[in-house]
Amino acid sequence: MKDTVLKSLKQKRVVSGQSLASELGISRTAVWKYVNQLRREGYRISSSPRLGYTLDSVPDSLLAAEIEENLQTRIQGRKIISCREMQSTQDHAKKLAIQGGSEGTIVVAETQSAGRGRMGRSWASPPGGLYFSVILRPGITLAGAAGLPLVAAVALARAIQPYTAVAPGLKWPNDVLIQKRKAAGILVEMSAEMDRLDWVVIGIGVNVAAASVQLPPEIRRTSTSLAIESTRIVHRAQLLGDILYELEEALDMFQTQGFEPLRKQWKEKSHTLGKHVTVVGSRQSIEGKAVDIDGSGALVMECAGGIRQRVTSGDLFFKGGAHG
């Protein structure tokens, strides 16, 4: 009912308590209680004994009502779990997926106390960022899912681009860079049975409002945020809607046309190919020039003696030590 009150306030410039009560079939006291709940959530609502209630401003929040208003998708965001704080949106979404959570369910939090990235690393999650995970059930083979991190990266870069003065670049395998510094990252986890995917959870973290001083000291030199790079005010619910739209479009293309058209898009946006890099894996480090992305999303490197090696995982460092 609170969301219905909010919707009425957004649709009408001024609305009286009696009008709201009659429209919703509740008492004026109930209307007053819902209005006060909205005020506590950050909505600025003024009131006048003669005119009624006026919605003056909307908070930059990730409340379900604000997210729903910005959705342009068929599947992504069909169910929204929004919290002020949780340990990890990725862990919560994985639990839901294991329990049969529906495709398109998103888990979003204002902050995370134990956010994580690839290889178990912590992900700094200060207030004002965008941290969410989405459940997918693509019905493809485990081998066919290898390119999903790059598919998600293409979608994320496309969604972020209208907000920045400089087009984002992609760093293999899962980072979005602006001006050579990391602005967003992706974590893809999945489970399969008999080589058929049961579920995929894509976690995305975007540094939105963080100033340099709010970023952990160890990553300030290599990270940035949309607040630093943006040419416009960034409303996080709108940005989330844009990301989910681009992700759904990219996934549709992936399932109908395969990885190839998205591989081409990734290469066009690449900040990796053509550069001398070191990829540090769990068992070995490989040095060479990044020359291509193959049909499964693996990085192709040209090493000493012109030998080409295919790399499927690891941390990539640019020559000189830059690491996103």
CATH number at residue 169: 3.30.930.10
Same domain, 282 and 251: no
Task: State the Cα–Cα distance between residues 83 and 99, nearest whole angstrom.
Answer: 20
Residues 91 and 235 in one domain: yes
Q: Are residues 42 and 151 in the same domain?
A: no
Cβ pair 303, 287 in contact under 8 A: yes
Domain shared by 286 and 264, yes or no? no
Annotated binding site for biotin: 112, 116-118, 182
Identify whether 136 is part of a domain.
Answer: yes
- Distance, in Å, from the CA atom of 224 to the CA atom of 260, rounded to the nearest integer, reads 30
Residues 48 and 153 in one domain: no
Same domain, 43 and 72: no
171, 95 contact by CB (below 8 A): no
Q: Look up the domain containing 50 and give its range.
A: 2-57
Q: How many CB atoms lie within 10 A of CB 17?
A: 18
Phi, psi of 289 (to 5 degrees): -100, 130
Contact 272, 323 (CB under 8 A): no
Helices 2-11 + 28-40 axis angle, to 10: 90
**Residues with Cβ within 8 Å of residue 74, at least 6 apart in sequence:** 248
196 and 175 belong to one structural domain: yes
Residue 205 lies in a domain: yes
Binding site: what residues are annotated?
112, 116-118, 182
Do 176 and 159 reside in the same domain of the chain? yes
Considering the domain architecture, whether residues 250 and 281 belong to the same structural domain is answered as no
Measure the CA–CA gap between 241 and 159, rounded to whole angstroms.
Answer: 9
The reply to whether 171 and 222 lie within a common domain is yes
In-domain check, residue 323: no
Q: Is residue 155 part of a domain?
A: yes
Phi, psi angle pair for 270, to nearest 5°:
-65, 135
From 37, 57, 77, the end of a domain falls on 57
CA distance 29 to 36: 11
**In terms of Cα–Cα distance, which of 84, 255, 269, 256 is closest to 176?**
269
pLDDT tens digits in sequence order for the chain, 324 residues long: 888 888 888 888 788 888 888 988 899 899 899 999 999 888 999 998 888 899 998 888 899 989 999 999 999 999 999 998 998 999 999 999 999 999 999 999 998 886 665 555 666 677 789 999 999 998 888 888 889 999 999 999 999 999 998 899 999 999 999 999 999 999 999 998 877 889 999 999 999 976 666 666 667 778 888 988 887 888 999 999 999 999 999 999 999 999 999 999 999 999 999 999 999 987 889 999 999 999 999 999 999 889 999 999 888 999 865 554
**Is 324 part of a structural domain of the chain?**
no
The domain boundary, picked from 57, 79, 100, lies at 57
Kindly report the CATH number assigned to the domain that includes residue 303: 2.30.30.100
Task: With 0.85 as the threshold, say if the pTM is over it.
Answer: yes
Q: Give the position of tokens 């070191």.
A: 278
The pLDDT value recorded for residue 51 is 85
Whether residues 190 and 264 share a domain: the answer is yes
- Rounded distance between C-alpha atoms, residue 285 and residue 283, angstroms: 7
Alpha-carbon span 107 to 24, nearest angstrom: 29
**72: in domain:** yes
C-alpha dist (Å) from residue 191 to 38, 115, 194, 225: 39, 20, 10, 32
- Same domain assignment for residues 148 and 168: yes
Q: Is residue 123 part of a domain?
A: yes
Round to whole Å and give the CA distance between 174 and 186. 5
Q: Does residue 133 fall inside a structural domain?
A: yes
Here the contacts of 219-226 (C-beta below 8 Å, separation 24 or greater) are 219/124, 219/182, 222/181, 222/182, 222/322, 222/323, 222/324, 223/181, 223/182, 223/183, 224/178, 224/179, 224/181, 224/182, 224/183, 225/129, 225/183, 226/160, 226/163, 226/164, 226/183
Q: Please state the domain count of the chain.
A: 3
Q: Which of 249, 269, 289 is the last residue of a domain?
A: 269
